[in-house]
């Protein structure tokens, strides 16, 4: 975000003069409050150390069992990969694929991509295909959900404790450590500093931006024809009347505004609303035992946790699996509607709503992970069997579609009518 003393807000597009960032502090946008820059001390080596630790923890987490059930002297154990295979074997390949991508593929991609970039730099060499790897790492950070998996495992443990004796495995603790280390890796990474080491760009690369080292109050990037690269955070001058241009450093396609942002947001929202109904009406889990068959919906699972005395987890599951998806749909619909009407009403509050939607959206995956672990462990043939129900596919699709909708929405559209009004 920084270039020649400038900062450009990725949420409201306001150009601002860069001020010294206090040690351990954060610079925020004066208009919308979005984070612009964070102080990082020795970012490269800290990120490398944390990424190396994350790789070790990731391997341990996927080799050893997460949890086991002790039944009649026998222990049935489950690994994360084994849980994915059980779902695939039962014909629930969409859920198997979603769990695999969000808990195995994306965290692995994030760790390997970061090491791919940092290890050569530690030996004063440039990493190969840095722009492609960095973009993959950005996608992986958005879709890796290790922290949600941990909470889902805790909820599953409470439910399993009513079936048989629960034996915690090594992977449960290593996954917890992995969650902390990955969070630390993301916090330690200084993207502009990393890219400056990979491919330094002189100030002459963006001459128009350099002449605006002290931008007039209220001036935006769009008004100056300047775009912020979402990959390397370089400020780039956009040619007049150009719809898109490649970043001169990482070759990412740049736009002053996301193309067809509102139409894509509405399309994802409509699809998620259609699927939200079967996700909450159809059974998310089918339980077969000697006492008959029971079909549980998401709400009945919340009731079960409440009645069994685990009311804190019942509240968490209700918020994550029922309230959050609905509130996310309503919030994004409100933001898209007000942006389409070019509303100037409470832009700061709407910007905060958008950031909140981005923050909490992934937590709706909680119920998917709970079902995954229950299906993997409760496989006692004639005694008891748990299978994922059709609602699991619908609910997983709702989570993915709402995340796509949040990515498609351009928060700078909230502020564009304000610029027109003040022009």
Pair 323, 413 in one domain: yes
Pair 32, 53 in one domain: no
CA distance readout (Å), 309 to 103, 158, 162, 367: 29, 10, 11, 19
Point out the domain boundary residue: 254, 269, 285: 254
Pair 280, 414 in one domain: yes
Pair 15, 150 in one domain: no
Residue 311, token pair as written in the block: 């009311």
- Give the pLDDT band (50/70/90) at residue 201: low
Pair 116, 92 in one domain: yes
Pair 312, 242 in one domain: no
Point out the domain boundary residue: 186, 216, 249: 249
Pair 231, 270 in one domain: no
Q: Would the pTM of this model clear 0.85, i.e. be above it?
A: yes
Higher-scoring residue by pLDDT: 105, 169: 105
Write out pLDDT tens, residues 226-267.
899 888 888 888 887 777 788 888 888 888 899 999 999 999
Pair 321, 233 in one domain: no
User: What SS3 state is found at 109?
Assistant: helix
Pair 306, 173 in one domain: no
Q: What is the pLDDT of residue 380?
A: 58
Distance, CA of 75 to CA of 67 (rounded, Å): 10
Write out pLDDT tens, residues 347-399.
999 999 999 998 888 888 888 998 888 888 876 555 567 788 888 999 999 99
Distance, CA of 187 to CA of 43 (rounded, Å): 9
Point out the domain boundary residue: 254, 276, 294: 254
Q: 213 lies in which domain range?
A: 2-39+200-249
Q: What is the pLDDT of residue 3?
A: 46
Residue 207 has pLDDT above 60, yes or no: no
Pair 229, 269 in one domain: no
Q: Which residues contact 338 (CB under 8 A, 6 or more apart)?
A: 345, 350, 414
Pair 233, 353 in one domain: no
Domain count, the chain: 3
- Mean per-residue pLDDT for 154-176? 85
Distance, CA of 276 to CA of 279 (rounded, Å): 5
User: What SS3 state is found at 39?
Assistant: coil
Pair 131, 187 in one domain: yes
């Amino acid at each position: 975000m920084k270039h020649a003393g400038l900062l450009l807000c990725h949420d409201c597009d306001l150009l601002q003069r860069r001020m010294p960032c206090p040690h351990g502090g954060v610079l925020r946008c004066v208009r919308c409050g979005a984070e612009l820059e964070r102080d990082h001390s020795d970012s490269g080596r800290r990120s490398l150390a944390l990424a190396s630790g994350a790789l070790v923890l990731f391997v341990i987490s996927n080799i050893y069992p997460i949890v086991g059930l002790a039944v009649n002297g026998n222990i049935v154990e489950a690994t994360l990969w084994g849980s994915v295979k059980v779902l695939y074997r039962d014909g629930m390949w969409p859920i198997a694929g979603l769990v695999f991508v969000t808990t195995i593929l994306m965290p692995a991609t994030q760790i390997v991509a970061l090491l791919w970039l940092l290890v050569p730099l530690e030996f004063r060499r440039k990493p190969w295909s840095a722009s492609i790897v960095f973009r993959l790492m950005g996608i992986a950070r958005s879709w890796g959900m290790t922290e949600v998996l941990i909470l889902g495992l805790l909820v599953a443990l409470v439910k399993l404790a009513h079936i048989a004796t629960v034996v915690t495995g090594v992977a449960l603790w290593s996954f917890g450590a992995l969650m902390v280390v990955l969070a630390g890796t993301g916090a330690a990474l200084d993207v502009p500093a990393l890219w400056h080491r990979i491919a330094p760009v002189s100030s002459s690369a963006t001459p128009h931006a350099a002449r605006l080292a002290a931008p007039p109050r209220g001036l935006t990037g769009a008004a100056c024809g300047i775009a912020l690269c979402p990959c390397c955070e370089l400020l780039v001058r956009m040619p007049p009347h150009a719809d898109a241009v490649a970043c001169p450093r990482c070759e990412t396609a740049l736009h002053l505004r996301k193309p067809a942002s509102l139409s894509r947001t509405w399309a994802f929202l409509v699809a998620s609303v259609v699927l939200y109904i079967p996700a909450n009406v159809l059974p998310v889990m089918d339980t077969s035992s000697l006492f008959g068959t029971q079909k549980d919906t998401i709400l009945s699972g919340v009731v079960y946790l409440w009645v069994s005395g685990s009311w804190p987890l019942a509240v968490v599951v209700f918020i994550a699996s029922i309230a959050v998806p609905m509130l996310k749909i309503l919030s994004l619909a409100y933001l898209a509607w007000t942006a389409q009407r070019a509303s100037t009403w409470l832009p700061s509050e709407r910007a905060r709503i958008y950031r909140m939607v981005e923050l909490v959206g992934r937590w709706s995956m909680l119920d998917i992970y709970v079902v995954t672990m229950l299906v993997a462990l409760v496989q006692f043939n004639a005694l008891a069997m748990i299978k994922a129900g059709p609602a699991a596919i619908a609910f997983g699709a709702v989570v993915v579609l709402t995340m796509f909708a949040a990515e498609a929405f351009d928060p700078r559209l909230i502020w564009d009518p304000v610029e027109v009004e003040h022009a």
